[in-house]
Amino acid sequence: MESGDIHSLSSFRRNSSSIWRSNVADVFSRSSRDEVEDDEEALRWAAIEKLPTYLRIRRGILSEKEGDFREVDIGSLDLQDKRRLLERLVKVAEEDNENVGIEIPTIEVRFDHLNITAEAHVGGRALPSIVNFSMNMIEGFLNYLHILPSRKQKISILHEVSGIIKPTKMTLLLGPPSSGKTTLLLALAGKLDSSLKVSGKVTYNGHGMDEFVPQRSSAYISQYDLHIGEMTVRETLAFAARCQGAGTGYEMLAELSRREKAANIKPDPDIDVYMKAAALEGQEASVVTDYILKILGLEICADTMVGDEMVRGISGGQRKRVTTGEMLVGPAKALFMDEISTGLDSSTTFQIVSSLRQFIHILQGTAVISLLQPAPETYDLFDEIILLSDGQIIYQGPRDQVLEFFESMGFNCPARKGVADFLQEVTSKKDQKQYWARKDEPYNFISVKEFTEGYQSFHIGRKLGDELASPFDKRKSHPAALTTKKYGVSTKELFKACISREYLLMKRNSFFYIFKLTQLSLLAIITMTVFFRSEMPRDSITDGGIFMGALFFSLIMIMFNGFAELAMTILKLPVYYKQRDLRFYPSWAYSLPTWILKIPITFLEVAVWVFLTYYVIGFDPNIERFFKQYLLFVLINQMASGLFRFVAALGRNVIVANTFGSFAILVLMVLGGFVLSRDNVKKWWIWGYWTSPMMYAQNALAVNEFLGKSWSHVVPNSTETLGVRVLKSRGLFVEAHWYWIGVGAMIVYIFLFNAIFTLALSYLNPFGKSQTVMSEETLNEKSATITQEVIGTSSRRRSSFRHTLSGDNGDSMRRKGISPKTSSVSADAIDEAKNRKRGMVLPFQPLSITFDEITYAVDMPQEMKVQGVPEDRLLLLKNVSGAFRPGVLTALMGVSGAGYPKKQNTFARVSGYCEQNDIHSPHVTVYESLLYSAWLRLPPEVDSKQEG
Q: What is the pLDDT of residues 417-434, one digit of tens each?
A: 889 999 989 988 888 999
Q: Mean pLDDT of all residues in the chain?
A: 77
Q: Which amino acid is at 832?
A: E
Sequence-distant (6+) residues with CB within 8 A of 454 are 405, 408, 409, 801, 805
- Residue 295 to residue 352: CA distance in whole angstroms: 7
DSSP codes, 132-199: HHHHHHHHHHHHHTTSS---PEEEEEEEEEEEEE-TTEEEEEE--TTSSHHHHHHHHHT---TTSEEE
The DSSP letter of residue 857 is E
Chain segment 749-771, per-residue pLDDT in tens: 999 999 999 999 999 888 765 45
Residue 142 has pLDDT above 50, yes or no: yes
Q: Is 689 left (phi over 0), alpha (psi -120 to 50) or beta?
A: alpha
Q: What is the mean pLDDT of residues 579-585?
A: 91
Alpha-carbon dihedral 565, 568, 570, 574, rounded to 10 degrees: -140
Question: Kind of pairing, strands 218-221 and 334-338?
Answer: parallel
> Which range among 219-228, 320-329, 583-592, 762-771 has the greatest average pLDDT?
583-592
Ordered structural domains, the chain, with CATH = 107-118+152-220+333-476 (3.40.50.300), 493-763 (no CATH), 849-936 (no CATH)
Instruction: Name the β-bridge partners of 369.
Output: 172, 337
Give the pLDDT of residue 95: 47
Q: How confident is the model at residue 359 (pLDDT cuts 50, 70, 90)?
A: confident
Burial of 182 (0-12, 13-18, 19+ CB in 10 A): buried
The bridge status of strand 366-370 relative to strand 169-174 is parallel
Contact by Cβ (8 Å): 88, 176: no
- 233-244 and 491-508 are packed helices; what angle lies between their axes, rounded to 10 degrees? 160
Per-residue model confidence as pLDDT tens digits over 157-172? 899 999 999 998 999 9
Query: pLDDT digits over 309-358, tens only?
Result: 777 888 877 888 888 888 888 878 899 999 888 767 788 788 788 878 87
Give strand pairing partners of 387. Answer: 174, 395
8 Å CB contact between 372 and 339: yes
**What pLDDT is recorded for position 468?**
92
In 3D space, the residue among 394, 419, 421 whose CA is nearest the CA of residue 409 turns out to be: 394
Instruction: Say if residue 231's pLDDT is above 80.
Output: yes
Residue 332: the pLDDT is 82
In this predicted structure, what is the pLDDT of residue 631?
A: 95
- The C-alpha atoms of residue 714 and residue 720 are separated, in whole angstroms, by 6
